[in-house]
Structure 1
Amino acid sequence: MTELRYLPDADDVTEFEATVTTATEEYIILDGTYFYPEGGGQPPDHGTIEWDGGSATIDDVWKDHGDVRHGVQSLDGDPPTEGTAVTCRIDEQRRRNLSRMHTAQHVVSRVVLDEFDASTAGNQVYAERSRIDFEPASFDDADLDRIEELSNTAIEADYGVTKEERPREQVEENVDEGRALLDMIPDHVDPLRVVAIEEFDMCPCGGTHADSLGELGGIEILDCTSKGENVERIEFTLDNLE
């Protein structure tokens, strides 16, 4: 089983050492990783894994029965053998953009819940542009302006963001109705990793995030489309993406 070393609050680490447990020409499994495996609406990290006599470019990362497989896009040399020490480097710029975007998704979701009583039905974060589906919702242009304004007001307040594990029972008692899809998290997952924005929001989430809202820059809403009865999709981006 691969140790998820970025949890609960080490999601700023982008270079680390690890040991190979399994390797093929298609993927590499390590004893522990800071690479984020795709999930929760967030794409996987990209980067490289290097060892004495070889290296691999990683363009996909996913979970498989407790292991994290680092998908090999290209391989220089033979795959490393079990027990090989490796140096791993995550694409820092891409990780930072995804962390900022995921945190911005939490901000917009909070604003929409508070102002329009609409829950987040789904989301997909990308490094350049992201989207959130809300229901029940029907937004007009004035509503979108309001969402953008309040989201940027929260960012300007530069609230701190903490990431920590909390007992599931405590999370279930304290998270606001409509803010988290707790039914989709298996009952055996306890404690839950929680992302909390001081005085603003709290939500169980396993993704990578900024350490404060001031890191996000401004949110700009790009589009809003209907995705079915009472479901609206908001697309947004951030200023100063790297």
Structure 2
Amino acid sequence: MKYYSMVEKLYLTDCYIKEFKAKITKIEGNLVFLDKTAFYPGGGGVENDKGFLSFNGGKVEVTNVKEVDNDVAHEVSSIPFKVGDEITGIIDWGRRYKMMRLHTASHIIASIAYSKYNAKVTGGNISPEYAKDDFDVDDKNKLLEIVKEANEIAKKSIPVKIYFLKREEALKIPGIVKLAEKMPPNIDLWRIVEIEGIDIQADGGPHVSNTSEIGEIVPIKVENRGKGKKRIYYTVKP
């Protein structure tokens, strides 16, 4: 699926692609552009993928991935290839999968916060080591209770579905955008992530396909971020 881009963004429809073949369409300095990619360029609070591009029996490290004019730029350690060459992209799967688990966990936590306290996410970030989310809640114990409830939901092995809806249809869904002060995306086709019976959000990032893959959500700490605002740090185990 092209999804309004010259590059086919494989990560939008299949979060489990670990390797893929693609052709180089453009090289700018140490930035390589491909006709398709499974490398997530970061966004929505989720950090970008890393990995390798394999070519002629060797491979170069992909140290950063980012969106450039709705294309995806792969920053590499060296350039042993040219435009038109075919490469194999290799995702750092350990890094990606940990962030997928944390990302799906964050959706469950955000859904509980929204339904129980009408609290929206006011900021956050997901790295392979941990996630952090800011909520407009007044009591740290509320967040700790939310994590407990999120763990109970994760254990239920609930499917996580990814599909696309036209903007006007998506806007009819209550709470489709749970990030405070974030305007709905001004595009005609929205990518929807639905945890059946629990949460539904407009979202462009990678997720696990079942909540059982999350493991245990473990709080690390809760910080005050001003009046009526708290930040929770958490990770997933094992």
List aligned pairs for 1:66-105, cutoff 5 A: 66-72=70-76, 74-75=77-78, 78-105=79-106
The one-letter amino acid of 1:80's match is F
State the identity as a percent.
29
Unaligned runs of 5+ residues in structure 1 are: none
Count of aligned pairs:
233
Secondary structure (helix, strand or coil) at the match of 1:132 reads strand
**Are the structure 2 counterparts of residues 117 and 56 from structure 1 closer, same or farther at C-alpha, using a change threshold of 3 Å?**
same
- Change in Cα spacing, 1:151 to 1:178, as seen in structure 2 (3 Å) is same
What's the offset of the Cα at 1:185?
A: 4.1
Q: How does 1:65-214 map to 2 (within 5 A)?
A: 65-72=69-76, 74-75=77-78, 78-135=79-136, 137-141=137-141, 143-176=142-175, 179-180=178-179, 183-187=182-186, 189-214=187-212
Instruction: Call closer, same or farther: CA 1:21–1:92 in 2, change over 3 Å.
Output: same
2:234 paired with 1:231: no
TM-score normalised per structure 1:
0.90
One-letter amino acid matched to 2:146: I
User: Match of 2:227, SS?
Assistant: coil
Counterpart Cα distance in 1 of 2:81 and 2:177: 46
* Residues in 1 aligned to 2:41 and 2:56: alpha-carbon distance in whole angstroms: 25
CA contact (8 A) 1:221 1:235 kept: yes
Q: CA deviation at 1:54?
A: 5.0
- Letter of the 1:151 partner, please give it: A
Task: Specify the code of the residue in structure 1 equivalent to 2:139.
Answer: F
| CA offsets 1:77-98 (integer angstroms, 9 cap, x no match) | x431111011110011111101
Q: Point out where structure 2 has 5 or more consecutive residues left out of the alignment.
A: 1-5
The DSSP-based 3-state class of the residue aligned with 1:97 is helix
Are 2:123 and 2:179, in contact at CA under 8 Å, matched by a contact in 1?
no
The CA distance in 2 between the partners of 1:119 and 1:173, in whole Å, is: 18
In 2, the alpha carbon distance for the partners of 1:202 and 1:229 equals: 29
Moved more, 63-72 or 167-176: 167-176
Q: Helix, strand or coil: the match of 1:150?
A: helix
| Cα offset, 1:180, TM superposition | 4.6
